[in-house]
Structure 1
Amino acid sequence: MKILVTGGAGYIGSHTVLALAEAGHDVEVVDNFVNSSAESIRRVEKLSGVKIPLHELDLRDEPGITALLDGAGFDSVIHFAGLKAVGESVRQPLDYYGNNLEGTLALVRAMQAAGTRQLVFSSSATVYGDRAPVPYTEEFEPLDSTNPYGRTKAMTEQILVDLAAADPSWRIALLRYFNPVGAHPSGEIGEDPNGIPNNLTPFIAQVAVGRLESLTVFGDDYDTADGTCERDYIHVLDLVDGHVAALEYLAEHPVGARAWNLGTGTGTSVLQVIRAFEKAAGVPVPYVVGPRRAGDLPVNYADATRAREELGWVATRGIEEMCADLWRWQSQNPQGFKG
């Protein structure tokens, strides 16, 4: 299968590109490198022994993406490209609506012109907002995110649902995933955020490797086992397997647009993650407890029954393996791809 991966130089994208290349697919990447590095693709090529064509392009450049797709014979697109920091989206909503929505619209128009009708979209559990009962199920409506980032995901899902309803030749997977963690076991590729990390585990890793002084735990008085927030952490390789399973499912099933949760179905607390990482790394992770952060929910995790029953997909890697792989990446690359 010939596959274009947008945002393929990023964290989840690069791991997916590697898996696809190792499986024998013909893969190309388009990325604007706003929050990624071409070095990740060079390392994917090293691991896979496969040359990966890399196109530096912003998806909002509609003539550019149209020219890339025109006549190229792509069978499918996996769409990761987009801005993704919740806090930043609150401060810079126009950047998020402009980038994430305009980029997707340009992409699907280019796909339509090229006759490519199969799309796997990187959505997010943030589409469920703060009113969905736990565990989250795909049947919950209406989607009601609490921040601009999540709203761009929910809006994009609606655009794609409407598109598939208008033109049944489209086959679209909407993958709502939870908290990606870990790295490739080789330590060659992993998460390398620009600036101060927005997510828990890369922050922990940078504290452990000495780049940051300490971690702030936002609240320890929630109604959970140890008072800290619980989230559904999923190994990035399990997430990759979910994308491959969705790709294969779309090739065989004319489903229109359909959503699947990708999660473990288990909540793990902030303190449990810290302890698991300390055990994996063999070093302490200093932290202080701060006040609750606005918008944080006590608990969220997935009901991944639909993915198991329809895609044949189940997350198999636990938090210990996630932390061990993350530490291998961070300890071998203290400055990420820059060092």
Structure 2
Amino acid sequence: MTILITGGAGYIGSHCCVTFMEAGHNIVVLDNLANSRLKSLERVAEITGKSVSFEQADIRDQDRLEEVLRKYSCTAVVHFAGLKAVGESVANPLDYYDCNVIGSHRLLSAMEACGVHQLIFSSSATVYGEPQYLPLTEDHPTGPVNPYGQSKLMVEQILRDLSASDPKWRFSILRYFNPVGAHKSGLIGENPLGVPSNLMPFITQVADGRREQLAIFGDDYDTVDGTGVRDYIHVVDLVEGHLKAYDALQTASSDNACMTVNLGTGTGYSVLQMVKAFERASNQKITTTVAARREGDVAACFADTSQAERSIDWVARKGLEEMCHDTWNWVCKNPKGFEDESA
């Protein structure tokens, strides 16, 4: 039995490869390398001591998907592949609906053609939109405020409809909060190509001298210090949630054939709290400046994680100090990320 990991050369995907391989699973990675580097899979092999099967392909190519699923006799899919920058999705919505929604549709069609009926989907807390209450539970109303979040919610609905149509299907919808951190080895970590879309890479680029200062978008929110509050989760905890979700799918009944689970810590940290924590971990000064609020940003967003503990026996275990320490370890060991990789 082999598990197909789409987008497996990316930040979260590469960490997922390590976790699944160390748990004894056979995997194959499918990635078009548009936002990732093949070097990450070489590092996965270094960490695990096992080679990684890799197929370069796009999830919108259904024929290639079917070819790969049959070639490796895949029995399940962990689906990371897609575009993920909120701002970019606002500027280029068609790209996001094409890649994230149509790509997922073609993946599911290929799975159906090949008799593969288990999938773990990389969704996002952005599907909730403006919080009506905190912490966010899985039954909180959804209302994405950007095309990225809309694309994730559309795929979620496709999975629910498919599950309702045929009892063979088994799905886990995992709604991520804010992944940070890196593998403790420092061999794999977040390697943004171009301008980062998340807070932590901006902080690290100030710490290592690539940027002069960190722009904080708004310091007048109704939060502990006026800056935005988010739920940050260590990437290793996050991918452990995927392994737990996979295990749960193997014994899932028809009542939970399509489960939706938040993956977060349940604790919110402000931008300034993140900056101070990273200064302690790196022993570097992070210079900040205040800018105007960004349209669409909310004051605070953090998860209720009790459903994850009940349904897949998972809780996040790594705290903020470890998130920052592991991130800085990765940055120090890889000051240029994977830029020396020609792929």
- Which category of TM-score, normalised to the shorter sequence, fits these structures? over 0.9
1:131-280 aligned within 5 A = 131-141=131-141, 143-254=142-253, 255-280=256-281
Match in the other structure for 1:68: 68
Is residue 2:110 matched to residue 1:110? yes
C-alpha distance after superposition, 1:96-152 (max 9, x if no partner): 0011111101101111111111100000000001154221111123x2100000000
Aligned residues: 338
| CA distance in 2: counterparts of 1:26 and 1:72, whole angstroms | 9
TM-score, normalised relative to structure 1: 0.98
Aligned to 2:80: 80
For 2:161 and 2:258, locate their aligned partners in 1 and report how far apart those are by CA, in whole Å. 9
Mapped to 2, the partners of 1:45 and 1:160 lie a distance apart of 32
CA contact (8 A) 1:71 1:114 kept: no
Conserved 8 A contact 1:188-1:329: yes
Shift of 1:38: 0.3
Code of the residue aligned with 2:95 in structure 1: it is: D
CA distance in 1, matches of 2:213, 2:318: 27
Out of 234-243 and 123-132, give the one that drifted further. Answer: 123-132
Paired residue for 2:44? 44
Instruction: Measure how far apart 1:256 and its partner are.
Output: 2.1
Q: Distance in 2 between matches of 1:132 and 1:241?
A: 29
Question: Is residue 288 of structure 1 aligned with residue 289 of structure 2?
Answer: yes
Q: Secondary structure at the match of 1:99?
A: helix
Distance apart, 1:214 and its partner CA: 1.2
| TM-aligned CA deviation for residue 72 of structure 1 | 3.1
- Distance in 1 (CA, whole Å) between partners of 2:155 and 2:195 is 27
Per-residue CA deviations over 1:299-330 (Å, capped at 9, x if unaligned) read: 01000111011111001111110000000001
Distance 2:240 2:252 in 1: 18
> Does the 8 A contact of 2:121 with 2:174 survive in 1?
yes
Q: Contact 2:2–2:72 at 8 Å: present in 1 too?
A: no
- Written as runs of structure 1 = structure 2, the 5 A alignment for 1:296-315 is 296-315=297-316
TM-score normalised by length of structure 2: 0.97
Q: 1:71 deviation in Å? A: 5.3
1:266-325 Cα shifts (integer Å, max 9, x gaps):
110000000000100011111111111111100010001110111110011111100000
Choose 229-238 or 206-215, whichever is displaced more.
206-215
For residues 195-233 of structure 1, the C-alpha deviation after alignment (integer angstroms, 9 at most, x for no partner) is: 111100011111111122211001111111111000000
- The amino acid that maps onto 1:39 is K
- Which moved further from structure 2: 177-186 or 64-73? 64-73
Is 1:4 matched with 2:7?
A: no
Letter in 2 for 1:266: T
CA contact (8 A) 2:182 2:326 kept: yes
Q: Is it true that 1:121 corresponds to 2:121 in the alignment? A: yes
Q: Give secondary structure in 2 for the equivalent of 1:21.
A: helix
The residue that corresponds to 2:320 in the other structure is 319
Following the alignment from structure 1 to structure 2, what is the Cα–Cα distance between the partners of residues 71 and 31? 16
* AA of the residue aligned to 1:97: Y
Contact 2:215 2:289 in 1 (8 A): yes
Aligned pairs for 1:19-58 within 5 A: 19-58=19-58
CA distance in 2, matches of 1:203, 1:62: 36
